[in-house]
């Protein structure tokens, strides 16, 4: 555990008398702060790092380190002699800064960190909650207390960012979304079966984002997608271990735990839908594509044919990099699983025997359910013949070339390729107009639908500009 302590080195010419009490030290610090810009003989702050090797937890709000062994790693070359110094050397260094300490051996050095515990609730109102600190600034106090009953004559408090609660780089600087209900013959459909969500500071982790798009299908598809929107973030968050949410640097094991949490979250939502008697999922279900972003870590979990794509610019041209894979029944691996489970994969067959439309999932001897995807949430009948709710998870590390992410339902992707969409958004990225990008994608998709059919599907899209 590494702490950064800002300690002000004062020249002797700026001090009229040696401070003897904590009150004197406070007054000296304040006066020096105001005079530092005016006096050239007051040196600039020196930053040193204290490394604590062990600690004793007192309470959620107060972590105390008593009699700790530590080393000093100064960033200033002038204090290079303190590198890997002992406790005794550090005491001499503090005394050299004109802060009085008791005689060596007659006091206990304590480092006390008090982080803030402000987080946000659902109503976006700050409140206190135990054991769930965010990444805000705390305060570090070093106190030298005599072993006798005498009052402490050294107290130094400085601001810091604790390594446990260090800021995670904000990966998304701007995002926008747009959804539009489809129509049949120019008449708007009764329900928009799409849903979307964006959660910032997801799972009580500062600057962690979760972005999702759901596309319902079947008679009660709108109810399924709405249920997934409400439940999926809670389920994923519930499976993320608390020790992972407070870390700034994630290990490969931590990343595996996040992936596992996303997978288990999807499966739990599928189970919840089966137990949700108010929603008939016999022939209704939903897709779900979710992207979790934390610093440069990007993890995508997907079931169905909604899609997530990264827009990448190499300095010469724009390219589309897929974050997810469409789950179509005619995919060789997907089809193999469906056939093994007693299903069959083929397009719809007209009375004349002619195949029409995309490949669909059917029961072996019945013309149901006719689902045009191999993975989904809900769809009870289809789940009996190999349609699964287990998400396919893809991990990606964001680079400087990655400029934005597009997450959308198949209302966008049906007639526009990933590269088409990246080219459209790229022009709006240069204008820093995420809202305009969403509006243009929706407009172009509608035009493409009308060219091919008199039916327009529901269209939902999220565009997020990255801070790479």
Tokens 């080219």 sit at which residue? 423
- Residues 71 and 198 reside in one and the same domain: no
Residue 420 Cα distances to 6, 78, 417, 430, angstroms:
52, 57, 5, 16
CATH of the domain at 241: 3.60.40.10
Query: What contacts 358, CB < 8 A, 6 or more positions away?
Result: 328, 330, 347, 372
Query: What contacts 133, CB < 8 A, 6 or more positions away?
Result: 60, 115, 116, 117, 119, 164, 165, 246
- Residues 240 and 262 reside in one and the same domain: yes
Question: Mean pLDDT per 10-residue run, the chain (468 residues)?
Answer: 38 46 56 46 37 37 36 39 51 52 45 37 37 36 44 36 51 96 92 96 93 97 97 96 88 96 97 96 97 96 98 96 97 96 94 90 94 97 97 97 97 97 97 96 96 94 94
pLDDT at 249 (0 to 100): 87
Domain boundary among 120, 141, 165: 165
Question: By the 8 A CB rule, do 289 and 304 touch?
Answer: yes
Domain boundary among 126, 144, 165: 165
Domain boundary among 114, 138, 165: 165
Residue 175 and residue 434: Cα distance in Å, rounded? 6
Range of the domain at 253: 172-466
- Residues 309 and 449 reside in one and the same domain: yes
pLDDT at 94 (0 to 100): 56
- Residues 17 and 86 reside in one and the same domain: yes
- 3 state SS of 319: strand
Residue 313 and residue 14: Cα distance in Å, rounded? 55
Q: What length does the chain have?
A: 468
pLDDT at 21 (0 to 100): 57
Of the candidates 405, 387, 197, 215, the one whose C-alpha atom is nearest the C-alpha of residue 299 is 405
pLDDT at 307 (0 to 100): 98
Question: By the 8 A CB rule, do 265 and 356 touch?
Answer: no
pLDDT at 91 (0 to 100): 59
Q: What domain count does the chain have?
A: 2
Of the candidates 124, 169, 390, the one whose C-alpha atom is nearest the C-alpha of residue 260 is 390
pLDDT at 406 (0 to 100): 98
Tokens 């072996």 sit at which residue? 364
pTM: predicted TM-score of the whole model, two decimal places: 0.67
Question: By the 8 A CB rule, do 205 and 242 touch?
Answer: no
Residue 37 and residue 44: Cα distance in Å, rounded? 10
Of the candidates 215, 174, 171, the one whose C-alpha atom is nearest the C-alpha of residue 194 is 215
- Residues 137 and 195 reside in one and the same domain: no
- Residues 346 and 452 reside in one and the same domain: yes
């Amino acid at each position: 555990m590494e702490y950064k302590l800002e300690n002000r080195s004062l020249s002797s010419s700026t001090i009229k008398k040696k401070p003897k009490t904590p009150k004197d030290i406070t007054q000296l610090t304040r006066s020096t702060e105001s005079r530092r810009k005016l006096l050239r003989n007051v040196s600039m702050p020196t930053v040193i790092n204290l490394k604590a090797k062990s600690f004793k937890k007192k309470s959620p709000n107060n972590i105390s380190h008593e009699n700790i062994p530590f080393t000093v790693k100064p960033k200033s070359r002038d204090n290079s002699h303190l590198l890997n110094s002992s406790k005794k050397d550090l005491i001499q260094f503090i005394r050299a800064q004109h802060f009085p300490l008791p005689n060596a051996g007659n006091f206990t050095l304590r480092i006390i960190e008090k982080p803030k515990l402000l987080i946000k609730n659902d109503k976006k109102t700050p409140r206190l909650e135990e054991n769930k600190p965010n990444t805000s600034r705390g305060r570090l106090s070093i106190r030298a207390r005599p072993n006798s009953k005498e009052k402490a004559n050294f107290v130094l408090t400085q601001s810091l960012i604790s390594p446990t609660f260090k800021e995670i780089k904000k990966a998304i600087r701007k995002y926008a979304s747009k959804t539009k209900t489809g129509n049949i013959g120019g008449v708007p459909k009764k329900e928009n079966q799409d849903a979307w969500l964006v959660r910032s500071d997801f799972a009580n982790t500062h600057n962690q984002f979760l972005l999702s798009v759901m596309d319902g299908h079947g008679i009660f598809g709108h109810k399924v997608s709405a249920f997934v929107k409400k439940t999926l973030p809670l389920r994923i968050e519930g499976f993320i271990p608390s020790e992972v949410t407070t870390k700034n640097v994630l290990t490969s094991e931590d990343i595996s735990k996040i992936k596992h949490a996303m997978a288990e979250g999807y499966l739990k939502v599928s189970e919840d839908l089966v137990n949700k008697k108010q929603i008939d999922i016999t022939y209704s279900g939903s897709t779900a594509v979710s992207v979790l972003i934390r610093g440069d870590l990007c993890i995508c979990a997907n079931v169905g044919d909604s899609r997530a794509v990264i827009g990448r610019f190499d300095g010469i041209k724009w390219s589309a990099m897929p974050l997810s894979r469409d789950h179509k029944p005619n995919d060789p691996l997907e089809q193999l699983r469906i056939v093994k489970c007693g299903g069959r994969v083929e397009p719809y067959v007209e009375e004349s025997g002619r195949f029409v439309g995309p490949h669909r999932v059917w029961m072996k001897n019945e013309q149901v359910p006719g689902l045009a995807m191999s993975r989904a949430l809900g769809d009870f009948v289809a789940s009996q013949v190999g349609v699964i709710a287990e998400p396919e998870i893809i991990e990606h590390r964001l680079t400087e070339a990655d400029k934005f992410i597009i997450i959308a339902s198949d209302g966008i992707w049906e007639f526009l390729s990933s590269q088409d969409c990246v080219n459209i958004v790229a022009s709006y990225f240069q204008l820093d107009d995420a809202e305009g990008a969403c509006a243009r994608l929706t407009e172009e998709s509608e035009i493409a639908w009308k060219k091919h059919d008199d039916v327009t599907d529901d269209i939902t899209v999220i565009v997020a500009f990255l801070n790479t």
